[in-house]
Structure 1
Amino acid sequence: MSVDLTVVVPAYNEERRLGPTLDAIRAHLELTDRGAWELIVVDDGSTDRTAEIAAEASAADPRVQLLRGDRNRGKGHALRQGVLASYGRRVLITDADLAAPIEELDHLDKALTDGHTAAIGSRARPGATIGAHQHRLRELLGRTGNFLIRTVAVPGIRDTQCGFKLFDGDRARAAFAASRLHGWGIDVEILQYFRRSGWPVAEVPVRWSHQEGSKVRPLDYVKVLAELTALKARAVSRTDLRVALLFLVLSAVLFSGRLVGPAHRYFPDSMQDQNQWEWFFAVTADNVRHLHNPLFTTFQNIPDGVNLMANTAMLGLSVPLAPVTWLLGPAFALNVAMTGGLAATAVSWYWLIRKRLVPHRGAAFAGAALATFAPPMVSHANAHPNFVVLFMIPLIIDRALRLCEGTRVVRDGVVLGLLTTYQIFLGEEPLLLAALGMLLFALAYGAVRRDVAKAALRPLLRGTGVALAVAVPLIAFPLYWQFFGPQSYKSVLHGDNAGNSPLAFLSFAERSLAGSAESSDHLALNRTEQNAFFGWPLVALAFAVVVRLWERPAVKALAFTVSGAALLSLGLKFRIPLTDIVLPGPWAALSDRPLFESVIEARVAMVCAPALGMLLALALARLSSVPRRLPRYAGVAAVALALLPVLPAPLKAVDRADVPPFIAHGTWRAYLGEGETLVPVPVPDAANAEGLHWQTSAGLGFRIPGGYFNGPWGPDRVGIYGPSPRNTSNLLREVSSSGRTPRITPAWRAAAREDLKFWKAGVLVLAPQPHDGQLRATVDALLGRPGKWVDGVWVWDLHRGDGRDPHHVG
């Protein structure tokens, strides 16, 4: 059956308007001589004479057909039935009220003749004319709803809901066959299908006039949004849900040592970082509860305080998780952030790899798993949530790639600005490293595909400008506070060379299946900084993948990214293995640049993890397409053998040292007056931050001097870990580490009095620990009197002799 045009008219209780509409359509089609045509009326379960009127028209003209529904199911269902029953080379859908006159078909027809696959009648495009208007309130609500729909679902199309559309017939039948919605949202669903398929759509201005008795209500726009939301939820396949659940299980296994009783379990490889991170969550929740400045606190480092924006407080998580911290404590909130955040990062990489690289779910899963659970990531999982909770990074990468496409530059630029702003409050150093990795990839890809680079440059620059315009006002004050506010600093001292050894890339991390502390500790700064331990089998696999798939531009760019990041991570200088030859490292070109001067250069190797994950995904996708089973299975087995040695073991956890009853039972309250501090012995610093744990256990009931944070030191305000040193804190730290009791002179006593006054000290507290006898003797000598054993600690009450009751609660 050869039909040039099919007109589909959905109708529900349209007895008053349907007859004149059918007459007008038939007259126009006859007059304009459009060849063979058919007119399909789909009665959607009408309760009036709509079906009878259509049946009479069909009896008078066999080119008019009636499809009758047994009940009302919605416009979407009716349109789907009509389009799927059509035979036309082109298919027009129009509402029964002919708000857009049938004569406007000529304009839509021209758009298809010019090469488009669909033409949408639009009331919002320049050139459109509107006759009778709706009530102003109704019109405003309609425009608002349409704006929301096109912003969320079909950007770039101004009028998605006008019921006058012309389609290429075969493409329309394919799109409607794949549709699922029964209501008004089908218009958007079909347009999304055309967009995803790369079929060009034209929006054509038309004449339009409001018709009394319209079935569209302002609240129908809300229904459209609800339908689209439900459709997206259904679009997530069960396989994808299983992948997300599996990533959550893997994350939970990694952190399993702390999931049960987190307040009483500790990751020893984190050194003091777990105490610090729980404190960050606790103090942020306290600031939120009391509406205090979330960028600053004086709970540590009395009287100077701590610039939280200049530390890795992860306000992007610690603020929204404040209710969890209030109810269940900072240890539990940190568990939620790390376990959920790591799983979300894996899902985010999986989504990016599937969308941009390979559609194969298994390959994308393997690539995302390597990107998320690679040895460097597991190493940082001990202590650094900001380096493992990276779910925003794949979203930022995807948005940058969208900018390169140049289709919706302003919108994508706005979104990129918002994503970047949020990532700044999750971690600035990971964002900087991600930008460095993206730059390496872009340089290599641009060199291989200059045509693509040339086309992408202008929209990328324009979109980046939009992103900056959005982000700068949002982050200007926080960044000003970070770099120029109280307790800000210029750069962080990490030593002369904190780069990786080339041998580290071929070695195995301590938590890898093939690794051990003996084989890894001498190649890394510590167990939280095993940034390059990918192991020689994985390095060999990556090399083989690059050689085999070298013809692909993406593979060349990924190989350059891995190589460039690895070289930069070697630091200012490195020694060639098995020789005494020391060469300058490429990091020297960046080491003194703003922002980069505070980066631990060994961490640049973390850029290799997602790049290697993408190479792995490409390799597995290629293997999945090999027709012969034996080579396919052999290839997968080789990949599995290369990955087996770097499979991570759960992080080590131990029972946590109990908080002394003096702190846990609140005895400390009797020893502190208004504004006074509790001074742990030794004074807390990066090497011993148990005092922070005391604070969080006591609900931040007291303040302490010293602490574990990044702050300024000296006139140049160089960043260091912990407070600016004072005589008494230095002395107590030396006794704690050496176990030697010094001779206390009057000068030492005078310095102690000055320091205790500076700290506003009310009481000194010494808990049982190594060398506690020497510490006790030192404090006795400094204060000229012995301490007192109270509730599991030695206490020196600084109010003694001033006429106050030492047990009076101030």
Structure 2
Amino acid sequence: MTAPAAAVDLSVVIPAFDEEERLGATLDAVTGYLGESEGRWGTWEIVVADDGSTDGTRALVTDRRDPRVHLVTSARNRGKGSALRLGVAASHGRRVLITDADLASPIEELERLDKALSEGNAAAVGSRALPGATIRDRQHPLRELLGRAGNVLIRGIAVPGIRDTQCGFKLFEGDRAREAFAASAIDGYGIDVEVLRHFHRAQWQIAEVPVRWSHRPGSKIRPLDYVRVLADLTWLRARAARPADLVAVVLFLLMAAALYSGRLFDPDHRYLADSLQDQNQWEWFFAVTADNIAHLRNPLFSDLQGFPDGVNLMANTVMLGLTVPFAPLTLLAGPAVCLGVVMTLGLAATAAAWYRLIVKRVVARRGPAFVGASLAAFAPPMVSHANAHPNFVILFMIPLIVDRALRLCTGTRVVRDGIVLGLMAAYQVFLGEEPLLLAMIGMALFAAAYGVVDREAAKRSWRPLLNGLAIAAAVCLPLVVWALAWQFAGPQSYGSVPHGDNAGNSPLALLSFAERSLIAGDARRANALSLNPTEQNAFYGWPLVLLAFAVAVRLWEQALVKALAVTAAGAALLSLGPRFRIPMTDRVYPGPWAPFAKLPLFASVIEGRVAMICAPALGMLLALALQRLTAVRGRGTQYLGLLGVCLALLPLVPAPLKAVQRPATPAFFTDGAWRPYVRDGESLVPVPLPDAGNAEALHWQQRAGLGFKLPGGYFTGPWGDSRIGIYGAPPRYTSQMLRDVRYTGVIPAIGAKWRAQAKRDFAYWRAGALVVTPQPHDDALRKAVSELVGRDGKWVHGVWVWDLHQGS
């Protein structure tokens, strides 16, 4: 039938697809209710939007011959979203009611929705989730669980504040409904969220109203439809993103790729020279985790290194939060490729996360936010760790945790935000505990400073914050307690890891430039002021320090600036360690870190890393300064200010990380020639044993498909009765002697005692064979091993081999 041309007071739009069995009763109920209440609802119409039905749905509508009930049709089945778009476009009501064909919410509930619109709202959403809602004839528990889980994700993606977006009973102001549905693009069930998102972005008030609801048999929604809804909404969110945000993400990805360009395109054969042996270690972590997952073994332990004692992987920052989900890529493409992909994407994701936080909490302008996020993610300390410490580079969870903690301070949704914060913290534990500890230090510094400068904000925030943190702890601890118990009390667990008397930064390190600075890099000075190239934990440069000081002075009236300045300064001071020397003098003073130096957890922290907290704080100060500069009218002031920013940042622009050709793996490991020499329960012993100074054997083991076990290795494990953490396996007499030969070329006098000791050590390692590969002083090593075993080795596929099954 033809729709009436004149406007009506109420349009009821019913999407339908093969609803012959249920639609008739629904139309009877709706027309009967509206017909009995003509004075209440005025003129009305019912629009049935048929979505390409193949049964008698269309005839059921046309046979009614009621001019107020009319049909619009689609040539084929396209989905609920398409049908609603078609039906709402054909409506003429000052108000538009959307209801499903099964009338799961009785038409009488229209009273509640109409009351909400009469109070000034533009839309009223029927809800099954609010107090006062009545649910009868509940769905199957699995469907209900899927619905709740899907709805939580839907709210997080697209519609904040609405607890039940998918209830099919909604009342809208007519013109606004027609505008929102006309602007929609989703053809599936996700259109409900898309339309509500349109109302939310247009700042049209939405009310959520509890209604009666009952499950009706014959539902068209299947469990997979929840996945489709989330896919639709993810696409929706990506489409709605600002072009500047997309450009920022692409630029972050290009910056990360440029940093890793030296090995990005040939990761199997390129090695980050400044990673020392860390790249070998991290590739092994990815490989062994994937192997454990593939063979359904405990991902927290392995005896492929440190044999026979093994390695506590949870105590070795194996990053299960990434190595587990990326296990398929590791198995498919290899650990070298996977590590390169993860570190590149992770660094870009970290920059994007800081960008999102800065846009949301600090400045609205995208340009200043981009510059601030770039400093937060690509500051010299981050570039230094980018050589081979993914746990200090892949920090995308930290800005999310900071944002959720700030949400708690508002006190609006303490329970929900506390739960989410707990889940985030639990995941970060499996990404890296030390970065989480540093983030907590930074947040504590910021909270203390902000509380002092804005006491009213502190009074409003402290109670919901503490309540939310308690909820977060209650959620987090059960998720991580078993893994942490394994870490601190499981096999091969250890206590603190000593890093020398003082691993803090020199004050000069805060003002100097890092080795990998493109313009101002000074390798000799940077290495003299740091532990090694992967631990250049400060090096912000004196121009940036001066600029930060100038920004803090100029914008000191802002509470945020004061808190950020105190956070940066406090972190810099703590990074000096338990004691520090005044440069160019012999005066040594206790450092701010001294009270924490012997505390549990803190005792294992390399104090210089605390300076990494400065990076996001300085980035946010820089974003605030740039936003202020863009608002200044004077061209001269803008020019001088931007010139100062450029002069401070240019010396920090990083050069690509140094990459070299990787040494070829001896054919003995790649072609399987090792197999006859190693039986079940035995190990293959490279000479000297792999350790933190030379861990290439871990790469050989990976190239051999992790088919043999290694004594020694590069990991952190216990030593002695006190179980102090050390790098590698506890030294044995034979391993130490062979290591000395490798580095000096000097062979000690080897007699009966040395041979007896070697026999005991070989037995402890359950050695099937000893292997000497081409390396410095390999002639001396070959001679020493021959004297220990009592016979010469055999040249096999590029290495010297001593088969210990022949006796010695």
TM-score for the superposition, normalised by structure 1? 0.85
The aligned runs of 1:56-71 (5 Å cut-off) are: none
Cα separation, 2, equivalents of 1:252 and 1:660: 30
Which residue of structure 1 aligns with residue 772 of structure 2?
766
Which residue of structure 2 aligns with residue 466 of structure 1?
471
Which of the numbers 541, 557, 560 marks the counterpart of 1:535? 541
Further displaced range: 378-387 or 436-445: 436-445
1:308/1:12 CA distance change after superposition, 3 Å: closer
User: Which secondary structure state, in structure 2, belongs to the residue aligned with residue 528 of structure 1?
Assistant: helix
Note the alpha carbon deviations across 1:355-399, whole angstroms, 9 max, x for none. Answer: 333332222222222111111111011121111112222222222
Pair 1:149-2:151 in alignment: yes
1:56/1:540 CA distance change after superposition, 3 Å: same
Q: Conserved in 1, the CA contact under 8 Å of 2:270 and 2:660?
A: yes
Further displaced range: 403-412 or 14-23: 14-23
1:174/1:546 CA distance change after superposition, 3 Å: farther
Which residue of structure 2 aligns with residue 232 of structure 1?
237
Note the alpha carbon deviations across 1:554-612, whole angstroms, 9 max, x for none. Answer: 22222121111111111001122333322211111111111111110101111111222
Cα separation, 1, equivalents of 2:516 and 2:165: 54
Shift of 1:650: 0.6
User: Which secondary structure state, in structure 2, belongs to the residue aligned with residue 495 of structure 1?
Assistant: coil
Pair 1:740-2:743 in alignment: no
Which residue of structure 2 aligns with residue 374 of structure 1?
379
User: Which secondary structure state, in structure 2, belongs to the residue aligned with residue 378 of structure 1?
Assistant: helix
User: Which secondary structure state, in structure 2, belongs to the residue aligned with residue 453 of structure 1?
Assistant: helix
Q: Conserved in 2, the CA contact under 8 Å of 1:109 and 1:166?
A: yes
The aligned runs of 1:362-761 (5 Å cut-off) are: 362-513=367-518, 514-627=520-633, 631-761=637-767
Give the gaps of 5 or more residues in structure 2. Answer: 1-6, 17-22, 52-57
Which residue of structure 2 aligns with residue 93 of structure 1?
97
The count of aligned residue pairs is 780
Q: Conserved in 2, the CA contact under 8 Å of 1:145 and 1:218?
A: no
The aligned runs of 1:106-255 (5 Å cut-off) are: 107-108=112-113, 119-122=124-127, 125-128=130-133, 141=143, 145=147, 148-149=150-151, 152-153=154-155, 154=159, 157-162=162-167, 165=170, 181=186, 185-192=190-197, 201-206=206-211, 217-219=220-222, 222=226, 225=230, 227-255=232-260
Q: Conserved in 2, the CA contact under 8 Å of 1:42 and 1:82?
A: yes
Pair 1:9-2:12 in alignment: yes
Shift of 1:117: 6.5
Shift of 1:489: 0.3
Amino acid at match of 2:150: L
User: Which secondary structure state, in structure 1, belongs to the residue aligned with residue 545 of structure 2?
Assistant: helix
Note the alpha carbon deviations across 1:61-118, whole angstroms, 9 max, x for none. Answer: xxxxx998998974542576489x87x7xx5635498876777566556656778675
1:712/1:7 CA distance change after superposition, 3 Å: same
1:45/1:327 CA distance change after superposition, 3 Å: closer
Amino acid at match of 2:411: G
Cα separation, 2, equivalents of 1:126 and 1:790: 77
User: Which secondary structure state, in structure 2, belongs to the residue aligned with residue 251 of structure 1?
Assistant: helix
Amino acid at match of 2:473: L
Amino acid at match of 1:149: N
Cα separation, 2, equivalents of 1:521 and 1:259: 26
Cα separation, 2, equivalents of 1:590 and 1:113: 61
User: Which secondary structure state, in structure 1, belongs to the residue aligned with residue 209 of structure 2?
Assistant: strand
Which residue of structure 2 aligns with residue 338 of structure 1?
343
Shift of 1:450: 3.2
Cα separation, 2, equivalents of 1:25 and 1:6: 11
Amino acid at match of 1:93: L
1:9/1:78 CA distance change after superposition, 3 Å: farther
Cα separation, 1, equivalents of 2:693 and 2:99: 74
Q: Conserved in 2, the CA contact under 8 Å of 1:156 and 1:408?
A: no
Provide the alpha-carbon RMSD of the alignment: 3.8
1:568/1:194 CA distance change after superposition, 3 Å: farther
TM-score for the superposition, normalised by structure 2? 0.86
Q: Conserved in 1, the CA contact under 8 Å of 2:44 and 2:68?
A: no
Note the alpha carbon deviations across 1:324-368, whole angstroms, 9 max, x for none. Answer: 222322212221221222222222222222233333222222222
Which residue of structure 2 aligns with residue 805 of structure 1?
none
Shift of 1:487: 0.9
1:166/1:260 CA distance change after superposition, 3 Å: closer
Q: Conserved in 2, the CA contact under 8 Å of 1:257 and 1:265?
A: yes
Note the alpha carbon deviations across 1:677-719, whole angstroms, 9 max, x for none. Answer: 2222222211121222221222222222211110111111000
Cα separation, 1, equivalents of 2:509 and 2:183: 51
**Structure 1 vs Structure 2: percent identity of aligned residues?**
59
1:750/1:141 CA distance change after superposition, 3 Å: closer
Further displaced range: 368-377 or 412-421: 412-421
Which of the numbers 280, 286, 290 marks the counterpart of 2:285? 280
User: Which secondary structure state, in structure 2, belongs to the residue aligned with residue 218 of structure 1?
Assistant: coil
Cα separation, 1, equivalents of 2:25 and 2:680: 82
Which of the numbers 255, 261, 266 marks the counterpart of 1:261? 266
Shift of 1:497: 0.2
Q: Conserved in 1, the CA contact under 8 Å of 2:497 and 2:604?
A: yes
1:150/1:712 CA distance change after superposition, 3 Å: closer
Shift of 1:250: 1.6
1:197/1:461 CA distance change after superposition, 3 Å: farther
1:658/1:19 CA distance change after superposition, 3 Å: closer
Which residue of structure 2 aligns with residue 806 of structure 1?
none
1:784/1:184 CA distance change after superposition, 3 Å: closer
1:333/1:163 CA distance change after superposition, 3 Å: closer
Further displaced range: 719-728 or 172-181: 172-181
Note the alpha carbon deviations across 1:526-565, whole angstroms, 9 max, x for none. Answer: 1100000111122222222222333332222221211111
Q: Conserved in 2, the CA contact under 8 Å of 1:40 and 1:82?
A: no
Further displaced range: 338-347 or 625-634: 625-634
Q: Conserved in 2, the CA contact under 8 Å of 1:44 and 1:74?
A: no
1:541/1:140 CA distance change after superposition, 3 Å: same
Shift of 1:646: 0.5
1:77/1:790 CA distance change after superposition, 3 Å: closer
Cα separation, 2, equivalents of 1:304 and 1:99: 63
Give the gaps of 5 or more residues in structure 1. Answer: 59-65, 803-810
1:123/1:783 CA distance change after superposition, 3 Å: closer
Amino acid at match of 1:462: N
1:122/1:324 CA distance change after superposition, 3 Å: closer
Q: Conserved in 2, the CA contact under 8 Å of 1:735 and 1:775?
A: yes
Cα separation, 1, equivalents of 2:398 and 2:595: 25
Shift of 1:640: 2.4
Note the alpha carbon deviations across 1:512-532, whole angstroms, 9 max, x for none. Answer: 121121221111011100000
Further displaced range: 550-559 or 231-240: 231-240
Cα separation, 2, equivalents of 1:643 and 1:326: 41
Further displaced range: 659-668 or 753-762: 659-668
